[in-house]
Amino acid sequence: MPAVELIEAKRDGAKHAEADIAALVGGYVAGAVPDYQMAAWLMAAFLRGLDADETVWLTRAMVGSGTTLDLSGVPGVKVDKHSTGGVGDTVTLVVAPVVAACGVPVAKMSGRGLGHTGGTLDKLESVPGLRTALSADEFARQVARVGVAVMAQTDDVVPADRLLYALRDVTGTVPSVPLIVSSIVSKKVAGGADAVLLDVKCGSGAFMRTPAAARALAGELARVGAAFGKRFSAVVTDMDAPLGDAVGNALEVAEAIAVLSGEGPPRLAEACEQVAARMLVLGGVAADVEEG
Determine which one of 83, 110, 183, 186 is catalytic.
183
The order of strands in the sheet holding 231-238 is 148-152, 106-110, 79-83, 195-202, 231-238
81 is catalytic: no
161 is catalytic: yes
Between CA 136 and CA 96 the distance in angstroms is 19
Q: Please confirm, yes or no, whether 168 is among the known catalytic residues.
A: yes
Angle at CA 150, nearest 5°, toward 107 and 104? 35
The active-site residue, picked from 187, 188, 230, 278, is 187
Q: Which of 20, 80, 89, 161 is catalytic?
A: 161
- Selected catalytic residue, list 78, 123, 168, 230: 168
Catalytic residue among 16, 60, 82, 188: 82
Distances (CA, A) of 277 to 152, 269, 270: 25, 12, 11
Active site residue 145: no
* Residues designated as active site: 82, 161, 168, 183, 187
